[in-house]
């Protein structure tokens, strides 16, 4: 797909869903893409288990990606064992002994029998590139949207059967990439605190290869939503 096509799709998503945050392109690759700057925020001192990274968790890259395009490698994501697992950078055996995993298990937030069922990217990437969909230099694997309840309602109407997932929030990226299926998340406390995600916000990951048909479906449903909104407003006026 051409760069202009992604720009057009990004514009359509923002206008039809009234998004307040730009759609984010996420691309996994065997090597960092040429000409894309690396995310270079300094790393803090490591924890006793060796964990550190350029941000508290991979989901924090979503915040930065709304404004600029950059590429990341495994070390950049490594502070969060959960995100390293879902994005294919680490295996379960490699993160099982880490302090953050122990904290999540001890709190009861997750149990060890559930962890192996979490969707993950199956092929270890050399790089993950993030940035605004409107300026993506490559065809993205996944497009991430930040949504409120009404926006998710509109998207769900356009995509009957849309998967609604819970914790960890980042696994919807793996679902979209590995299974070619759109998935929304109600969020998770780990991600909400680390990203500063508002309480009324949710996310949705859409396979890049299916974005055009999703936009078409949203646009087709827009007329019906407008008609129903007009009817409901006129009907409610009788009670004013």
pLDDT at 4: 78
Sorted by sequence, the CB contacts under 8 Å of residue 198 that are 6+ apart come out as none
Q: How far apart are CA 81 and CA 88, in angstroms?
A: 11
Nearest of 140, 130, 152 to residue 66 by alpha carbon: 130
pLDDT at 2: 65
Q: Where are the domains of the chain?
A: 3-237
Q: How far apart are CA 222 and CA 157, in angstroms?
A: 10
pLDDT at 222: 84
pLDDT at 27: 98
Sorted by sequence, the CB contacts under 8 Å of residue 42 that are 6+ apart come out as 54
Length of the chain: 240
For residue 129, the 8-state DSSP code is E
Q: For helices 149-158 and 211-237, give the axis angle rounded to 10 degrees.
A: 120
Sorted by sequence, the CB contacts under 8 Å of residue 211 that are 6+ apart come out as 9, 143
Q: How far apart are CA 182 and CA 40, in angstroms?
A: 30
Residues (pLDDT < 50) of the chain are none
Q: How far apart are CA 165 and CA 168, in angstroms?
A: 9
Q: How far apart are CA 72 and CA 79, in angstroms?
A: 13
Ordered DSSP codes for 28-56:
EESSPPTTPPBP-PPPPPPPTTS---SSS
Nearest of 74, 59, 72 to residue 144 by alpha carbon: 59
Nearest of 86, 93, 42 to residue 177 by alpha carbon: 86
Rounded to the nearest 5°, which phi and psi values hold at 127? -155, 155
Quote the longest CA-to-CA distance of the chain. Answer: 65
pLDDT digits 0-9 by tens, 121-166: 999 999 999 999 999 999 999 999 999 999 999 999 999 999 999 9
Q: Which two tokens stand for residue 238?
A: 């009788």
pLDDT at 124: 96
pLDDT at 68: 96
Burial class (CB in 10 A: 0-12, 13-18, 19+), 6: buried
């Amino acid at each position: 797909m051409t760069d202009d096509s992604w720009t057009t799709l990004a514009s359509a998503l923002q206008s039809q869903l009234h998004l307040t945050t730009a759609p984010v392109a996420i691309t996994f690759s065997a090597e960092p893409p040429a000409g894309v700057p690396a995310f270079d925020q300094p790393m803090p001192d490591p924890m006793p288990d060796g964990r550190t990274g350029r941000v508290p968790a991979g989901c924090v890259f979503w915040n930065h990606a709304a404004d600029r395009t950059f590429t990341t490698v495994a070390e950049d994501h490594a502070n969060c064992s959960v995100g390293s697992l879902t994005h294919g950078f680490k295996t379960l055996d490699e993160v099982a002994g880490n302090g953050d995993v122990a904290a999540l298990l001890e709190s009861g937030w997750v149990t060890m029998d559930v962890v192996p069922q979490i969707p993950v990217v199956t092929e270890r990437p050399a790089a993950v590139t993030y940035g605004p969909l409107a300026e993506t230099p490559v065809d993205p694997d996944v497009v991430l949207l930040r949504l409120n309840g009404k926006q998710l309602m509109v998207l769900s109407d356009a995509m009957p059967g849309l998967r609604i997932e819970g914790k960890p929030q980042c696994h919807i990226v793996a679902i979209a990439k590995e299974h070619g299926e759109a998935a929304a998340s109600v969020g998770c406390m780990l991600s909400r605190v680390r990203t500063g995600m508002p309480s009324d916000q949710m996310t949705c990951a859409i396979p890049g290869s299916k974005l055009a048909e999703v936009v078409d479906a949203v646009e087709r449903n827009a007329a019906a939503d407008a008609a129903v909104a007009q009817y409901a407003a006129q009907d409610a006026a009788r009670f004013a």
